[in-house]
C-alpha cells in the first residue's frame, strides 16, 4: 500500500483552480503532479476524476483550454484560469476556510467546566 489517499470529495476543483492560479497554464498531467506534490505526496489524483472535473470547470467558464506541445514534444491540452475562475477560487477558498474553522471547533479538546 502506497499510503496515498484519493483527493477528498468537493476539493478537486478548488485544488485545480489554485494550482492554475499559482503556476499558470498547465496540462492535465502537470496539474495532477502539482496537486500530489503540494500534498507532500499524501494525495493521489485519479485521472478518471481529474479530466471530468477539468471539463466541468471549462463548461462553467472557470478555466479555458487550448492545444499546445508539452515538454516531451507531445500534443497536450493546456488549461488556464479565467477571470470567472479567479472569482470562483476566492468564493470556494472562503467557504473551505469557514468549513475547516467550524470542524476545528468540534475536533478541539473539550474545555473543562469551571
In tens, the pLDDT along 56-95 reads 999 999 999 999 998 889 999 999 999 999 999 999 999 9
Rounded-to-integer distance, Cα 41 and Cα 4, Å: 7
Pick the closest to residue 81 from 7, 39, 19, 12 (CA basis): 19
- Hey, what's the cell of 10? 468537493
Structural domain spans, the chain:
5-107
Please list the alpha-helical segments (H only) found in the chain: 12-23, 28-38, 47-59, 83-107
pTM recorded for the entire structure: 0.86
Question: Which one is the CATH code of 5-107: 3.30.910.10, 3.40.50.300, 1.10.10.10, 3.40.50.1110?
Answer: 1.10.10.10
Stronger pLDDT, 16 or 6, i.e. the higher one: 16
Amino acid at each position: 500500500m502506497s499510503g496515498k489517499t484519493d483527493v477528498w470529495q468537493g476539493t478537486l476543483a478548488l485544488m485545480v483552480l489554485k494550482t492554475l492560479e499559482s503556476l499558470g497554464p498547465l496540462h492535465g498531467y502537470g496539474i495532477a503532479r502539482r496537486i500530489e506534490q503540494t500534498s507532500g505526496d499524501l494525495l493521489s489524483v485519479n485521472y478518471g476524476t481529474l479530466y471530468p472535473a477539468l471539463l466541468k470547470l471549462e463548461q462553467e467558464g472557470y478555466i479555458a483550454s487550448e492545444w499546445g506541445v508539452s515538454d516531451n514534444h507531445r500534443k497536450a491540452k493546456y488549461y488556464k484560469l479565467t477571470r470567472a475562475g479567479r472569482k470562483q477560487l476566492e468564493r470556494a477558498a472562503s467557504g473551505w476556510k469557514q468549513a475547516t474553522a467550524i470542524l476545528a471547533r468540534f475536533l478541539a479538546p473539550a474545555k473543562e467546566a469551571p
